[in-house]
Structure 1
Amino acid sequence: MSGDNLYSLTLTRDNANIGILAIQEYLVSLQSERSRKTMVYCLNIAMTAINTTIEEFNWVGLKDSLVAAIVTRLTQDYAPASVNIILVALKSVARRLWAHDVISTRDYELIKKVKGARGSRVHKGRALNDGELNELFEELDSYDSSKAIRDRAIISCLLGCGLRRAEVAELQFDNVHLNEDDPYLTVIGKGNKERKCYIPDETVERLKEWFFIRKDSPGACFSLVDKHDNVLEKKLTPYRIYRITQDWANKINMKRWTPHDLRRTYASNLLGMGVDINTVKNMMGHASITTTQIYDRRGDDSMRKAVHLMNRKAG
Structure 2
Amino acid sequence: MGALFTVWRFRQTSPLDGAAVTDHPALPAAAAEPREQQFSRLDQRELVAAAGLGIALAMPGTPLPPDRNPYLVYRRALTNPSSRRALISCLDRIAALLTAQAGHGQIPGELLPWHELRFGHTTAIRALVLEQGWSPAYARKHLAALRKVLDYAWRLELMSAEDYHRAVQLAPIPGSHVAVGRSVANTELAALLRVCAEDPRPTGARDAALIALLYSTGGRCFEVAAVQVEDYDPGDRSLLLTGKGGKQRHVYVQEAAAEFLGRWLAISDCKAGPLLLRIDRWGRIYDQGISAGAIGKRIKARHRQAGLPRLTPHDFRRTFIGDLLDLGADLATAQALAGHASPATTARYDRRPERTRRAAVDRLRFPAVE
TM-score, reference length from structure 1: 0.82
Answer yes or no: is the 8 Å Cα contact 1:222–1:236 preserved in 2: yes
Select which of 96, 99, 105 maps to 1:48.
96
| Structure 2 partner of 1:63 | 118
Which whole-Å CA distance do the structure 2 matches of 1:38 and 1:147 have between them?
Answer: 29
Which whole-Å CA distance do the structure 1 matches of 2:62 and 2:356 have between them?
Answer: 55
Change in CA separation of 1:49 and 1:139 when aligned onto 2, cut-off 3 Å:
closer
Select which of 184, 189, 196 maps to 2:238.
184
1:271 aligns with 2:325: yes
Select which of 156, 179, 185 maps to 1:123.
179
SS state at 2:303 partner: helix
Select which of 213, 216, 228 maps to 2:267.
213
> CA offsets per residue over residues 49-108 of structure 1, 9 Å max, x none?
433644664545411122111111211212222222222222223233334444333322
Select which of 71, 76, 87 maps to 2:131.
76
Change in CA separation of 1:300 and 1:129 when aligned onto 2, cut-off 3 Å:
farther
1:33 aligns with 2:88: no
Q: AA paired with 2:320?
A: Y
Identity in percent: 27
Cα shift at 1:231: 4.2
Which whole-Å CA distance do the structure 2 matches of 1:10 and 1:297 have between them?
Answer: 58
> CA offsets per residue over residues 266-314 of structure 1, 9 Å max, x none?
1111111121122111111222223323444555666777788889877
| Structure 2 partner of 1:233 | 287
SS state at 1:253 partner: coil
Which whole-Å CA distance do the structure 1 matches of 2:115 and 2:200 have between them?
Answer: 63
| Structure 1 partner of 2:206 | 150
Which whole-Å CA distance do the structure 1 matches of 2:77 and 2:368 have between them?
Answer: 58
Answer yes or no: is the 8 Å Cα contact 1:43–1:86 preserved in 2: yes
1:222 aligns with 2:270: no
List runs of 5+ in structure 2 lacking aligned partners: 1-27, 31-59
Out of 220-229 and 234-243, give the one that drifted further.
220-229
Change in CA separation of 1:223 and 1:48 when aligned onto 2, cut-off 3 Å:
closer
Q: AA paired with 2:222?
A: A
Which whole-Å CA distance do the structure 1 matches of 2:196 and 2:149 have between them?
Answer: 49
List runs of 5+ in structure 1 lacking aligned partners: 1-8
Out of 87-96 and 100-109, give the one that drifted further.
100-109
Cα shift at 1:221: 1.5
Matches within 5 A, 1:159-308: 159-179=215-235, 182-227=236-281, 229=283, 231-297=285-351
SS state at 1:47 partner: helix
Out of 263-272 and 116-125, give the one that drifted further.
116-125
Which whole-Å CA distance do the structure 1 matches of 2:121 and 2:344 have between them?
Answer: 30
Cα shift at 1:140: 3.8
Larger radius of gyration: 2
Cα shift at 1:205: 1.3
Cα shift at 1:255: 0.4
Cα shift at 1:132: 2.2
Select which of 63, 85, 88 maps to 1:17.
63
| Structure 2 partner of 1:86 | 142
Which whole-Å CA distance do the structure 1 matches of 2:204 and 2:357 have between them?
Answer: 35
Which whole-Å CA distance do the structure 1 matches of 2:364 and 2:197 have between them?
Answer: 38
Which whole-Å CA distance do the structure 2 matches of 1:36 and 1:147 have between them?
Answer: 29
Q: AA paired with 1:260?
A: H
Which whole-Å CA distance do the structure 2 matches of 1:309 and 1:135 have between them?
Answer: 35
Answer yes or no: is the 8 Å Cα contact 2:216–2:253 preserved in 1: yes
Out of 131-140 and 213-222, give the one that drifted further.
131-140
- Cα RMSD (Å) of the superposition? 3.2
Cα shift at 1:262: 0.7
TM-score, reference length from structure 2: 0.71
| Structure 2 partner of 1:5 | none
Greater helix share, structure number? 1
> CA offsets per residue over residues 195-235 of structure 1, 9 Å max, x none?
11111111111112222222253222122445554544343
Which whole-Å CA distance do the structure 2 matches of 1:37 and 1:225 have between them?
Answer: 25
| Structure 2 partner of 1:4 | none
SS state at 2:250 partner: strand
Answer yes or no: is the 8 Å Cα contact 1:281–1:288 preserved in 2: yes
